[in-house]
Structure 1
Amino acid sequence: MARKPDSAAVAAKREREKRMVSEMIELFCRKNHGCRADGLCPACAELEAYARARSEKCPFMEGKTFCSNCRVHCYKPEMRERIREVMRFSGPRMIFHHPVAAIRHVVETRAEQRRLRKGSLS
């Protein structure tokens, strides 16, 4: 089943998410695998391609904030564990590498958590 074309806002959100996951994987790879800015190790390159493909095909992009808040987990279990490891490592360090994006992430996460709590109380 083909995905319907994105609105400009959803397309921008999709690209922002793909860019952020790539930056987080790059940071993880550089600090844990010794890779330089000119490329990723094969395992991290595979994870990045997989994560970007999942974002590209996500039918819930318009309404979701982050994959961790999604009700449908489309990652294979192995890849899900690998991306969790990257997020646990890179997430706290993003404030030093991409402060605006990191602050935006915290604000959006908190807003989503409040929205989800209100929805469960109804």
Structure 2
Amino acid sequence: MKKTDRGLSMVDFMIDLYYDRHQAENAEREKLKTYVAKRLSACPHGDAKPFCSACKIHCYDKNHRAMIKKVMKYAGPRMIFYAPTLALRHLVENIRSK
């Protein structure tokens, strides 16, 4: 599996985790998933893409960037309980990239 595919599946999981717990905002879920997939597929770094937090190029517009930050801030710490292998893989890749 390519790194971009793994990244997209991780972000999808985090979005689902957030919106499953925040039902009042659920209307944004599919729009955010579609936007993230579109932006990841258009990333100029391709498969050598760093994590968005470490990237010099910010692909998301201001509104979507705020939304994804909110999702990741909530879902990130909870990943170890819901998807431990995914969380550990993310941690290892993050350490390797530095």
What is the TM-score when the length of structure 2 is the normalising length?
A: 0.90
1:60 aligns with 2:45: yes
Quote the residue 1:26 is aligned against.
16
Q: Structure 2 unaligned segments of length 5 or more: list them.
A: none
Alpha-carbon separation, structure 1, partners of 2:17 and 2:85: 16
Native 8 Å contact 1:65 1:108 kept in 2: no
Quote the residue 2:82 is aligned against.
97
Quote the residue 1:118 is aligned against.
none
| 1:50 partner letter | Y
Shift in Å at residue 55 of structure 1?
0.8
Q: What RMSD, in angstroms, separates the aligned Cα atoms of the two structures?
A: 1.7
Specify which structure has the bigger relative contact order, considering alpha-carbon pairs within 8 angstroms and separated by 6 or more residues.
Answer: 2
Q: Structure 1 unaligned segments of length 5 or more: list them.
A: 1-8, 36-40, 114-122
Which one has the bigger helix percentage? 2
Alpha-carbon separation, structure 1, partners of 2:20 and 2:48: 32
Native 8 Å contact 2:43 2:49 kept in 1: no
Describe the SS at the equivalent of 1:62: helix
1:85 aligns with 2:70: yes
| 1:94 partner letter | M
| 2:66 partner letter | E
Shift in Å at residue 34 of structure 1?
6.5
Quote the residue 1:106 is aligned against.
91
Identity, in percent, stands at 37
Alpha-carbon separation, structure 2, partners of 1:59 and 1:16: 17
Native 8 Å contact 1:28 1:89 kept in 2: yes
Alpha-carbon separation, structure 2, partners of 1:61 and 1:88: 25
Which has the higher Rg, Structure 1 or Structure 2?
Answer: 1
Query: Of the candidates 72, 79, 84, which is equivalent to residue 57 of structure 2?
Result: 72
